[in-house]
């Protein structure tokens, strides 16, 4: 089962997903998709890790999440934006190749037994991107979110820490 959780920056997406995962399992898995790029980002990762206690198993994988040992587990995948960024750069900013690769992975996850809380960002609701690459990525993120939401059995939009059900 896929649960899709989306929203803006600092809207409470990760906390919501983690609480939901813990309500279903005493030993959930947290899949981190980020590549740490600088000191500020490393501090963010450290804060995220501090949010999880010894009950969690943390796995790090920038691209091929479906290959991880996560079948029959409760999993928080955090987050699609960073995961998609990894495909976007792997495929040299080719939107279709990046989207196809992400869709293939989502399809593989959908075929695995388990419960997957997939966290993403709604980046298209903010300021208009001021570069061609930025605009391409905003479009890509929107299409990826639509695809995952379509696959999900439930979808939640987080607003100021409040979950709003958009698909149940």
How is 23-48 classified by DSSP, letter by letter?
Answer: HH-SS-EEEE-PPP-SHHHHHHHHHH
- 36: which residues sit within 8 A by CB, 6+ positions away? 42, 45
Domains of the chain (ranges, CATH numbers): 2-167 (3.40.50.300)
Residue-by-residue pLDDT tens, the chain, 168 positions: 999 999 998 899 999 999 999 999 999 999 999 777 777 767 876 777 777 889 999 999 999 999 999 999 999 999 999 999 999 999 999 999 999 999 999 999 999 999 999 999 999 887 788 899 999 999 999 999 999 999 999 999 999 999 999 999
Q: What's the pTM value of the predicted model, to 2 decimals?
A: 0.93
Rounded to whole angstroms, the Cα distance separating 138 from 65 reads: 22
In the sheet with 114-119, reading across from the earlier edge strand, the strands are 57-60, 29-32, 73-78, 114-119, 2-7, 154-159, 162-167
Point out the catalytic residue in the list 22, 48, 97, 110.
Answer: 48
pLDDT of residue 126: 72
120-143: string of b/e by CB count within 10 Å (b at 16+)?
bbbbeeeeeeeeeeeebbbebbeb
Q: Is 48 among the catalytic positions? A: yes
């Amino acid at each position: 089962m896929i649960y899709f959780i989306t929203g803006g920056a600092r809207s409470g997406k990760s906390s919501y997903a983690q609480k939901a995962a813990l309500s279903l399992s005493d030993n959930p898995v947290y899949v981190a998709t980020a590549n740490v790029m600088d000191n500020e980002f490393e501090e963010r990762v450290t804060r995220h890790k501090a949010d999880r206690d010894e009950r969690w198993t943390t796995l790090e994988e920038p691209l091929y999440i479906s290959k991880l040992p996560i079948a029959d587990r409760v999993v928080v995948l955090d987050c699609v934006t960073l995961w998609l960024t990894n495909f976007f750069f792997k495929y040299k900013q080719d939107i279709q190749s990046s989207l196809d690769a992400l869709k293939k992975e989502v399809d593989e996850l959908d075929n695995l037994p388990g419960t997957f809380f997939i966290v993403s960002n709604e980046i298209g609701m903010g300021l208009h991107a001021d570069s061609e690459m930025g605009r391409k990525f905003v479009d890509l993120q929107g299409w990826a979110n639509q695809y995952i939401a379509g696959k999900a059995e439930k979808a939640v939009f987080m607003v100021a820490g409040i979950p709003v059900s958009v698909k149940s």
